[in-house]
Chain A
Amino acid sequence: MDPRQRPLLHRRLGVLKALAWSLVAGLILIYAWLQLVRHGEFQQLAMQQAVKIRPIAAPRGLVLDRNGHRLVDNRRALHLVIQREDLPTRADVIESLALALELDPAALARKIQSYRFAGKGRPLVLKENLDDAGIALAERVRSRFPFLSVDVAPRRVYLGDELAGHVLGYVGEVDEELMKAKPGVFRLGETIGKEGFEASGNDKLKGVDGQRRILVDQLGTEVAHFGQTDAVAGRSLYLTLDAGLQKILQDAYGEEAGAAVVLDLRDGGILAMYSSPSYDPNLFLNRLSQEMVDRYLNNPTRPMLNRAIQGIYAPGSTFKLLVALAGLEKGVITPQTVIYCAGKKNFYGRDFRCDKPTGHGGLSLVQAIAQSCDVYFYEVASRMDIDDLYATAEKYGFTDRTGVDLPQEKRTRIPSRAWKRKAAPKDPKWYAGETISVGIGQGAVGVTPIGLARFYAMLATRGKVLTPHLFYGFRNDQSNELEPAPVPVPRDTPLDPRNWATLDEGLYEVVQGGTAAANPLIREIAREAPFVGKTGTAQVATFVDKSHYARQAKHLKDHALFAGYAPRDRPQIAFAVVVENAGFGSTAAAPIAAKLVKYWFVDRVRNPLPPPRGRMVDPFAPPAEAAP
């Protein structure tokens, strides 16, 4: 190299060196800015994406009957799942997996595709609630598809199956509609009560969810776990229900449709509430299958309807007690009033028939109740205005919902002039002839079984309007004893003792020598456990010639009713029984009432805790151990 060039070269290299060091210095400044000045901000960002809080679902409280029998239990259910990061991508793998698990390949592929972009950290459930066969299948398939895993999750078990489906209801995942309606109350995926007491008692049954603080990686997979707040289980609750009595009703209804309610007269507690056909809440914990939809949702007999609180029935002759009470209080009759029945009577130019075409002759009020004479009550109704009748019904709480602690109770329909104006705007005038029909519980009047039961409870207690309820109290987790919940205070509207005695006497005569006495079984039970009540036969269709009655289609047959209380001297329970399309109240409904009375006052007293029998053996037994 030419030595003359060297100083020039050195000068230029010196510049480059300075540039190199200023590059380094510039980079250091950038890092100082990020790592020293903005350190806190970035550290927070790093923690935010790595540390997640995952909820721990709190187990719901158990549900027991008044004697401590479990009606709802918690078990562990097994689900076949794929963790999100293990989702298969190859179409042929998905197809052979679907075939192995007997799933629809196209549906599975869609599910996997949509799940890939869904929420992190929750596994894709392929099969829910594996039974023994399902577990065996899963084990076989897992050797070929190692990404499958079995997840354990809590599951509600309804021990009586269909025993109290409508009362208990079922649980499910909170839906989007509800989350939108009450923002901030629920979290996604939370289990809540959907129907029945699970729904109305949801706040009491649900516990407090816990929290797990975990470290997740970029895929949302849990990497480490640091600390958690444990979930607090929901409190177990006692219901006023008596499982044994409930079982009596279930057996008594068999294939018949209808509903029955039995009330404890001391506090309005519901000792039994059965709606037939019933449903098995266990089946609603799985995703709905077509079979389920056909069996329950598209079934013309409407098994999902809780007829005890949602069925509106013409009360028939059971309504005559209200007409009698209104007549007495209005003063249009006295307990001694005698009215002559000739088998029919003309009001406003139209003949109204009595059930007995030859006529009952002269009848007192007690006899009219016992024989269920229609002409007597046509006459009483004709002496009043419909609004008088409504006023009495309102006074004794018959026009309101009972306020039972179940969702979606229907209101009874006791007509009035105001009601007609609203219900029939095209023909808003109330005709006097309509009052005559209402006098025997036909026409516009419609009651729920629970409303009817409460009215008879009011009669039995001489004026106490109770609030029927299922919630009995909390279970003390240490002692397993009942901690009673406050009882809804009844509204007291005392009946005139003279009037009451007359009505009570009438109800007594129904069973002793009246419409219900023809049945020898009823006479026999009434001797053992003296109960009183009123039959009802509510027309579904009108027939002029009753001789063809037996040949009529089942769904046109009359509804049979029976409502009453027991025992007569110091009443403890009141009840209402409705059997749809079953014919006469005396032959279809009264025997069911007799059975429940016999169970409650005879069999149960001999053996206070109902011995589990038949279908109840399994449900109430502790979970069976798996065979070795």
Chain B
Amino acid sequence: MKDRVRALDSRLLWVILALMLLGTLTLYSAGRNTPQAAIWIKQSVWNLMGLALMLLLAATDPRRILRYSFPAYLLGLVALAAVLVVGKKIGGATRWFVVAGQTFQPSELMKWVTLLYVSHRLGLRPADSIRRFELLGAVGLVAFPMLLIQRQPDLGMALSFLPILLIIPLMKGLRARWVVALLLLVTVGGFGAWKFALKPYQKQRVMIFLDPSADLQGKGYQVNQSRIAIGAGGLIGRGFTSGSQTQLNFLPVKTTDFAFSVWAEERGFLGVLLVLGLFGLLLSRILDAAKAAHTNAEAYFCAGAAGIFALHLMVNVGMVAGALPNKGMVLPFFSAGGSSTLSFFLALGLIMGILYRSRVK
């Protein structure tokens, strides 16, 4: 046990602990002067549970986990179907189970289960190039949960499955012409979705993305306030718990989607550099894990995980700055939430386990 603790990847652990601490500070500041003043305590409980889960998984042989990926995947599909039937409806969307007063969002976990199972499937055959049926199989495996999630509806979550489709086939040697085909597919699919599948409010979000100034009172109001908060932060920030946008509640949903704006306003560009640097290190370390992995499946999982973390980072941090559409994608370690926190730690636990095994051989 002692050996195992010593053998934990300290670099990754320090990055995680640092991000966790900064995220908790942000939530403390964001919750002040609101009915959610205790949210940082609640989130700390989730974080500690997540840390425990992470250490537990880090000590588990990844191969054992991969072996259970298929039943987990099936269970996940059942859960996604069930949530549509018995889930709790909040704000027009049915995404949550209610267990003992706590809401739980199965799609958060399903993202990682899907990644795990796709990595497992495509990692079975040692080959430096991907076969057509493998690619089609992967598309199918990802498409099922995505479609179920889009029924909730939750476009942001559905899109966060895309890195699985993009990164693992690339790792497996997808030819450039396939990448072009995939991009074409996404483009055509995008147009098709715009025409047939998107809800009006989702279209509106895209429109606001194209011209944020067009709807300052409605959806664009939130992003506009967020940009003001970030810009007002300047180089060194307005001081911890002293940002007017944050503390006077001009900033909306500041404990979840716009938590990073709180940090940017109160800690300024230097604070932003620190957090983005830490995220860069996190991504970098996850990719190192992929390099060190013993099996293809493990490597694919790490690479896919890096893609999912990177997507969350890009969409959330870009969105609050008004550079990307408002999709409601959370930022790991900063946005409050139980399901997402646990699932991020779960993924990190697996990665730690892979790193650990690569070291002890």
Contacts of A36 in B (CB 8 A): 234-235, 269
Is A135 at the interface (CB under 8 A from chain B)? Answer: no
Is B255 at the interface (CB under 8 A from chain A)? Answer: no
Interface of A is mostly: helix
Is B83 at the interface (CB under 8 A from chain A)? Answer: no
Is A5 at the interface (CB under 8 A from chain B)? Answer: yes
Contacts of A16 in B (CB 8 A): 167, 287, 303, 306-307
Is B227 at the interface (CB under 8 A from chain A)? Answer: yes
List, sorted by A's number, 12 A–B pairs whose CB atoms are closer than 8 Å.
Answer: A16-B303, A19-B310, A20-B283, A24-B277, A24-B283, A28-B272, A35-B234, A35-B235, A39-B235, A42-B230, A50-B250, A215-B244
- Considering the complex of A and B, which 8 residue pairs feature the smallest CB-CB distances, nearest first? A42-B231, A20-B283, A24-B280, A46-B232, A217-B248, A35-B269, A39-B234, A218-B249
CA distance A21 to B288 in the complex (A): 13
Report whether B126 and A5 are in contact in the complex, using a CB–CB cutoff of 8 Å.
yes
Chain B proximity of A220: nearest CB distance (Å): 10
Contacts of B284 in A (CB 8 A): 17, 20-21
- Tier of interface size on chain B: 35 or more
Q: For chain B, residues 298 to 348, give those with C-beta under 8 angstroms from any C-beta of chain A.
A: 299, 303, 306-307, 310, 313-314, 317-318, 321, 323
Q: Which of A4, A27, A28, A42 contacts B232 (CB 8 A)?
A: A42
Mark interface residues in B225-248 (1 if CB within 8 Å of A CB, else 0): 001111111110000000011001
CA distance A46 to B229 in the complex (A): 7
Q: Which of A17, A27, A45 contacts B276 (CB 8 A)?
A: A27
Report whether B310 and A50 are in contact in the complex, using a CB–CB cutoff of 8 Å.
no
Chain B proximity of A38: nearest CB distance (Å): 5
Contacts of B277 in A (CB 8 A): 24
Report whether A30 and B276 are in contact in the complex, using a CB–CB cutoff of 8 Å.
no
Chain A proximity of B275: nearest CB distance (Å): 10
| Contacts beyond the supplied A16-B307, A216-B248: 6 A-B pairs with Cβ under 8 Å | A1-B296, A8-B173, A20-B287, A42-B227, A46-B231, A217-B249
Chain A proximity of B265: nearest CB distance (Å): 8
Report whether A27 and B233 are in contact in the complex, using a CB–CB cutoff of 8 Å.
no
Is A607 at the interface (CB under 8 A from chain B)? Answer: no
CA distance A431 to B318 in the complex (A): 93
Is B219 at the interface (CB under 8 A from chain A)? Answer: no
Given contacts A36-B234, A50-B244, A20 and B280 within 8 Å (CB-CB): yes
Cβ-Cβ contact count across A and B, 8 Å cutoff: 136
Report whether A31 and B321 are in contact in the complex, using a CB–CB cutoff of 8 Å.
yes
Report whether A31 and B272 are in contact in the complex, using a CB–CB cutoff of 8 Å.
yes
CA distance A4 to B128 in the complex (A): 9
Please give the number of chain A residues whose Cβ is less than 8 angstroms from any Cβ of chain B in the complex.
40
Is A479 at the interface (CB under 8 A from chain B)? Answer: no
Report whether B248 and A50 are in contact in the complex, using a CB–CB cutoff of 8 Å.
yes
Report whether A42 and B228 are in contact in the complex, using a CB–CB cutoff of 8 Å.
yes
Given contacts A1-B296, A31-B272, A46-B228, A13 and B290 within 8 Å (CB-CB): yes
* Chain B interfacial positions (CB closer than 8 Å to A): 33, 126, 128, 167, 170-171, 173, 227-235, 244-245, 248-250, 264, 268-269, 272-273, 276-277, 279-280, 283-284, 287, 290-291, 293-296, 299, 303, 306-307, 310, 313-314, 317-318, 321, 323
Given contacts A9-B291, A30-B323, A34-B231, A24 and B279 within 8 Å (CB-CB): yes
Contacts of A216 in B (CB 8 A): 248
Residue of B nearest to A17 (CB): B287
Residue of B nearest to A38 (CB): B231
Contacts of B291 in A (CB 8 A): 9-10, 13
Report whether A8 and B230 are in contact in the complex, using a CB–CB cutoff of 8 Å.
no
Is A32 at the interface (CB under 8 A from chain B)? Answer: yes
Residue of A nearest to B291 (CB): A13
Report whether B321 and A12 are in contact in the complex, using a CB–CB cutoff of 8 Å.
no
Report whether B244 and A34 are in contact in the complex, using a CB–CB cutoff of 8 Å.
no
Chain A proximity of B69: nearest CB distance (Å): 18
Chain A proximity of B250: nearest CB distance (Å): 5
Mark interface residues in A37-52 (1 if CB within 8 Å of B CB, else 0): 0110111011101100
Report whether B244 and A30 are in contact in the complex, using a CB–CB cutoff of 8 Å.
no
Q: Which of A2, A21, A23 contacts B314 (CB 8 A)?
A: A23
Is A181 at the interface (CB under 8 A from chain B)? Answer: no
Contacts of A219 in B (CB 8 A): 249
Residue of B nearest to A33 (CB): B321
Mark interface residues in A97-112 (1 if CB within 8 Å of B CB, else 0): 0000000000000000
Contacts of B232 in A (CB 8 A): 39, 42-43, 45-46
Residue of B nearest to A41 (CB): B231
Contacts of A5 in B (CB 8 A): 126, 128, 296
Report whether B128 and A27 are in contact in the complex, using a CB–CB cutoff of 8 Å.
no
Report whether B233 and A35 are in contact in the complex, using a CB–CB cutoff of 8 Å.
yes
Is A223 at the interface (CB under 8 A from chain B)? Answer: yes
Chain A proximity of B285: nearest CB distance (Å): 10
Chain B proximity of A54: nearest CB distance (Å): 16
Contacts of B167 in A (CB 8 A): 16
CA distance A19 to B167 in the complex (A): 12
Q: Which of A1, A12, A43 contacts B171 (CB 8 A)?
A: A12
Chain A proximity of B171: nearest CB distance (Å): 6
